[in-house]
Structure 1
Amino acid sequence: MLLKPISILLLFSLLSANCSSLLVFLGFEANQNYIAKELCENKDKPEMHCNGKCYLMKKLKQAQDKEQKQERQSQKTQIQDALVVKPLVFKQYAFAEINLHVPFSTGMPQSIKNSIFHPPQ
């Protein structure tokens, strides 16, 4: 029952985090008249035909800076996660000593059976 609304909410939050400049632009389009009349930095200069675009550019710059800051922070955490060093444990394994005496005449170890190494019949 609650699975569908929760999944929609999570999907919306993921999309809004990645598309913040799109949300800023949509907010500007929805409130352009108010922004042009009240919040525009150039409202006293009508010959510039700014119509609130200066405010839009400032907000887009803020959103871009925020995204870059979040990206740098996520990269730092990824690097920190990658550099977690677990202590190395060295175990000493005992190997059986192998005494293979190689005679100079045959060039083969004596402990290996000669029945394996024979010419084809």
Structure 2
Amino acid sequence: MLSMLRRGVIYLIIVSTLAANFSRFFIFAGFELNRNYIAANLCENIDEPWMHCEGKCYLEKKIKQTQESEKSDEHQSQKNLFQEAAINNSSLIKFQNQLLHIINTPYPPGGLAQFNGTLFRPPQLS
């Protein structure tokens, strides 16, 4: 039963991947099968017979819609992948808020005043 379910899921994934990749082919095949109906009823240039459009305007419009939807789907999937990567990587960072060792280093009396003043003189302008 479980292997049958896996096989069904695999077939579903393969079919959906192929359908996404061959969407233009399916649009063109649908256009060719319904060419007479599209030319008679859905053509935008039906009032201009000298253009010999015969429904090609409808085909171009459908292909353009498909390209735009694929582009927006691709953009959305990239955004989702980025969000998933950001969420997954944030769990790898762990901060430890623990003080390990304190080092007491006493400064000699007059500690910083012992430096020679000739070292820290600004350059002279000539």
Partners in 2 of 1:49 and 1:66 — Cα distance?
29
Could you list the runs of 5+ residues in structure 2 that have no partner in the other structure? 101-126
The aligned amino acid for 1:89 is: F
Structure in which a larger fraction of residues adopt helix: 2
Partners in 2 of 1:82 and 1:8 — Cα distance?
28
Q: CA deviation at 1:25?
A: 1.1
1:70-89 maps to which residues of 2 (within 5 A)?
Answer: 70-84=73-87, 85-86=90-91, 87-89=93-95
Partners in 2 of 1:77 and 1:5 — Cα distance?
26
Most deviating of 20-29 and 33-42: 20-29
Overall identity of the aligned pairs, in %: 48
Q: Are 2:47 and 1:47 aligned?
A: no
TM-score (norm 2): 0.64
Number of the residue aligned with 1:10: 13
Q: CA deviation at 1:55?
A: 0.3
1:17-28 maps to which residues of 2 (within 5 A)?
Answer: 17-28=20-31
Most deviating of 79-88 and 29-38: 79-88
Across the aligned residues of Structure 1 and Structure 2, the Cα RMSD in angstroms comes to 2.4
Partners in 2 of 1:76 and 1:16 — Cα distance?
22
Distance 1:73 1:89, change over 3 A: same
Most deviating of 15-24 and 33-42: 15-24
**Residue in structure 2 matching 1:62, options 54, 61, 65:** 65
Partners in 2 of 1:8 and 1:26 — Cα distance?
23
User: How many residue pairs are counted as aligned between the two chains?
Assistant: 95
Could you list the runs of 5+ residues in structure 1 that have no partner in the other structure? 95-121
